[in-house]
Amino acid sequence: MTAESSPPTSVETRLRDLRTDTSPVEFVARVVACERRDVTRKSDGSRRPVLTGLLSDGTATVRFSWWDPPREGIERGVVLRAVGAEVREFRGRPEVTFSWRTRVGPASPAELPRLDADEIPFRTVRDLHPSEEGFRIEVRIVRIAQKTVTVGTERRVVHEGLVADRTGAIALSSWSDFGLHAGEAVRIAGGYVRAFRGRPQLVLDDRSSVVRVDGTDLPDPAQLLASPPRSIAEVDDEGGGEAVAVEGLVVALLPPSGIVFRCPTCHRSIRSGICRVHGQVEGQPDLRARIVLDDGTGALTVNANRADTERLWGVTLAEAEARLRSQPDPTLIEEQMLEALLGRRLRVRGVGTHDDFGVTLTPESIDRVDIDLDAAAEELSARLGDRR
Ligand SMILES: [Zn+2]
C-alpha cells in the first residue's frame, strides 16, 4: 500500500471520548436519526448529496455529516464502523464528518462499546440539562399517562408524565412502553434530555433501559405534589419547574382577562372574529384570568382557566355574559374581576414555564388562603413597634 491510498491512522474511540485533537478516529455506532438532502456548491452550483443525523454508541450521541453517502442501506437503527472519520467541534460539542477518506461499513451491535454499568455516571434530576445523555438516574414516577400523537403521517403512542428524585422533578416523555405506573421507583439508563417549551424533558425510547428499584431514598409522589410553597424569586431563578408551588397576593390582571372569544376549531383566542389559523369564525365565549401573583420576592403570571376563574371570582361565564349585554364594555368586566381578586392570597401549584416576561404557571390547583387579619395586624404593629 502506498502512503496515498492508505487511510489516515485512526484511533478507535468511544463517542464520549471524541476530541478534535484525536481526529481522525475509528468507532462503532448506531444511526439514531438521519436525513438525506442535497447541498448546492457555491463554486459551480452543482448539487452534492449529504446525509446528516445522529449516531450513538451508548456513551454519547453525536451529530454526523456524510458527504456522498451510499444511495441506500443507511437508515435509523443500522450499526456502522467508521474508520478515518474527522472530528469537529460545533457549539462546544464534537461532531463527526465522513468524507471520501473515511471507510464506513456495516458492523454488528456486539461490536458497540461494552459498558460496565458503573462506568455510566449517576445523575440527579437537578443535574439534567438539555443534550445530556450517557447517564443513569433513579427516579420515582409521579404521574404517567399515555396519549396518541401524530408524527409526520404516523400515529404514535407516547407515555408522558413526571418523575422526581430528592433534587427535583422533570417531565418524562417515553416513545417506548416500559409499563410504567405512578408510584414506582425506577433506574433509567440510555435516556437523553431535550428542551421542550423551554423546560428540560427526559426522553426514553427503545434504546433506553428501565429497571424497577426499591427507591427507599426517593420522595413519595403525594409528598412531592404537596411540597410547601417556595419563593417566587427562587422559582424564577430556576426558570420555572414541573411541580411548582407558590403562594402570594393577587396584585394585577394581565390582558386578556375576563371574557375572551375562542375559535371553535382550535380554541385560540380570536380578535374581531378572526382566528389566525381558521380565518373568520363564530367565536365561542370563554372566561379566563391571567393573574399576577406577588410574594414579596418576585411576581409570576398564573393562567387561570374558566373553571378556576369562575370559582375564584364567584361569577359564572353565563353571568359575565349577561353583564356584558347590559354594559357592553369588556374592560368593565375585567375591572370587576380585578376588584374581586385584588389582594387575595392564593396558593398555586402547577407547571411553570419561563420566557422573556418571567414565569407563567399553568395551574393544577389554585387554593385561596385566608389571611388571618388579627395575626396580620399584630405582625404589622410588632414591626412598627420595632421601628419606634
Ligand atoms: Zn382556529
Q: How far is the CA of 74 from the centre of ligand 1 (A)?
A: 40
Q: How far is the CA of 288 from the centre of ligand 1 (A)?
A: 18
For residue 159, pLDDT beyond 60: yes
Banded pLDDT at 303 (limits 50, 70, 90): very high
Q: How far is the CA of 254 from the centre of ligand 1 (A)?
A: 23
Q: How far is the CA of 174 from the centre of ligand 1 (A)?
A: 29
DSSP 96-123: EEE-TT-EEEE--GGGSPP--GGGSPB-
Beta partners for 241?
A: 352
Percent of the chain with pLDDT strictly greater than 90: 46
Q: How far is the CA of 261 from the centre of ligand 1 (A)?
A: 11
H/E stretch holding 221 reads: helix 221-225
Q: How far is the CA of 271 from the centre of ligand 1 (A)?
A: 11
Q: How far is the CA of 281 from the centre of ligand 1 (A)?
A: 8
Q: How far is the CA of 98 from the centre of ligand 1 (A)?
A: 46
Cell for 335?
Answer: 375591572
- pLDDT tens-digit readout, 204-258: 987 788 999 998 888 887 777 777 889 999 999 888 888 889 999 999 999 889 9
Q: How far is the CA of 256 from the centre of ligand 1 (A)?
A: 17
CA dist., res. 331 & res. 217, Å (int): 52
- What mean pLDDT do residues 182-208 have? 85
Percent of the chain with pLDDT strictly greater than 70: 91
Question: Model-level pTM?
Answer: 0.58
Q: How far is the CA of 278 from the centre of ligand 1 (A)?
A: 4
- Which of 138, 86, 81 lies closest to 106, judged by CA? 81
For residue 116, pLDDT beyond 70: no
pLDDT value of residue 4: 47
Cell for 371?
Answer: 389571611
pLDDT value of residue 226: 73
Q: How far is the CA of 289 from the centre of ligand 1 (A)?
A: 21
* Better-predicted residue by pLDDT, 375 or 302: 302
Distances (CA, A) of 254 to 6, 116, 261, 274, 353: 68, 54, 16, 22, 17
- pLDDT tens-digit readout, 54-100: 888 877 788 999 999 998 888 877 899 999 999 998 878 889 999 99
- Lowest-confidence region among 59-73, 192-206, 250-264, 301-315: 192-206
CA dist., res. 262 & res. 220, Å (int): 39
Banded pLDDT at 381 (limits 50, 70, 90): low
Q: How far is the CA of 243 from the centre of ligand 1 (A)?
A: 30
- pLDDT tens-digit readout, 123-146: 999 888 876 777 899 999 998 999
Banded pLDDT at 197 (limits 50, 70, 90): confident
pLDDT value of residue 384: 57
Q: How far is the CA of 347 from the centre of ligand 1 (A)?
A: 33
Q: Which domains does the chain have, with CATH numbers?
A: 3-111 (2.40.50.140), 120-223 (2.40.50.140), 227-373 (2.40.50.140)
- pLDDT tens-digit readout, 21-67: 888 999 999 887 888 999 888 888 889 999 998 888 877 788 999 99
For the chain, the residue count is: 388
Q: How far is the CA of 282 from the centre of ligand 1 (A)?
A: 10
- Which of 156, 157, 171 lies closest to 242, judged by CA? 171
Mean predicted lDDT score pLDDT of the chain: 86
Please list all protein residues whose beta carbon sits less than 5 angstroms from ligand 1, which is an ion. 263, 265-266, 275, 277-278
For residue 376, pLDDT beyond 90: no
- Which of 80, 84, 86 lies closest to 105, judged by CA? 80
Q: How far is the CA of 262 from the centre of ligand 1 (A)?
A: 8
Banded pLDDT at 2 (limits 50, 70, 90): very low
Banded pLDDT at 3 (limits 50, 70, 90): very low
pLDDT value of residue 377: 61
pLDDT value of residue 1: 43
Q: How far is the CA of 286 from the centre of ligand 1 (A)?
A: 14
- pLDDT tens-digit readout, 349-365: 998 998 888 999 999 89
Residue 336, Cβ density class (10 Å: 0-12 exposed, 13-18 middle, ≥19 buried) = middle
